[in-house]
Structure 1
Amino acid sequence: MENSKKNEGGNENAPGQNKEFKILVNAREKIWTEKKITFDEVVILAFGVISSDPNVSYTVTFKKGDNNKPEGIMVKGDEVKVKDGMRFNVTQTNRS
């Protein structure tokens, strides 16, 4: 009865629920399976981790996004809807 556990939270196998999005993060192709992506998740895809150094900051821009917001800038705490072919550019700055 392990299959029943997978379906308890909703219809995982419903059409469109298991979509994979091909996105570009700093010109590298990544596969994303969620409908939305957060600022922190984009930074982690770009650099592997988020620095705990208070002097390090990140800038995230995106293009080819959802029709409601096809391009823009993300800040800490932001979340955007993911679209196949979306492009993210993430830069890391060290304020010294």
Structure 2
Amino acid sequence: MTNDDKKDGHDKTITIVVNGTPHSVPKNDELTYAEVVTYFDPTYPQHPQTVYSVTYTRGDKPKEGTLSPGGSVKAKDGMDFHVIPTSES
């Protein structure tokens, strides 16, 4: 990567927080439910049948909400995600 690429914003990252742990992600990316859950539980890709409740605050628009399976949200620096395993009834 050249210095020109960095000036164009191709090397920018932001920090999100998942259950108190900071993670660097590319700026201007959409974060999917699966990506956020994988930050919380790295084994999630091997066990996608496990369901999690994912909420966030400090987002862009909307500022807070729920991230459902298959959903995504625009990443914003300082976003705070809370991931909780749910039990099936």
- What's the TM-score bracket when you normalise by the shorter of the two chains? 0.7 to 0.9
RMSD: 2.3
- Corresponding residue for residue 47 of structure 2: 52
Moved over 6 A (4+): none
SS of equivalent to 2:78: coil
Q: List alignment gaps of at least 5 residues for structure 1.
A: 4-10
Residue 71, structure 1, aligned to residue 53, structure 2: no
TM-score by length of 2: 0.80
- % identical aligned pairs: 32
Per-residue deviation at 1:12?
A: 5.2
Per-residue deviation at 1:70?
A: 0.8
CA distance in 1, matches of 2:19, 2:5: 31
CA distance in 2, matches of 1:95, 1:21: 34
Residue 31, structure 1, aligned to residue 37, structure 2: no
Per-residue deviation at 1:36?
A: 1.2
Q: List alignment gaps of at least 5 residues for structure 2.
A: none
Q: Deviations over 1:32-87 (max 9, x none)?
A: 11511100000000111226374x31110000011x21110010111110010000
CA distance in 2, matches of 1:70, 1:28: 20
CA distance in 1, matches of 2:39, 2:48: 18
The number of aligned residues is 86
Q: Is the 8 A contact 2:6 2:12 kept in 1?
A: no
TM-score by length of 1: 0.75
CA distance in 2, matches of 1:17, 1:71: 27
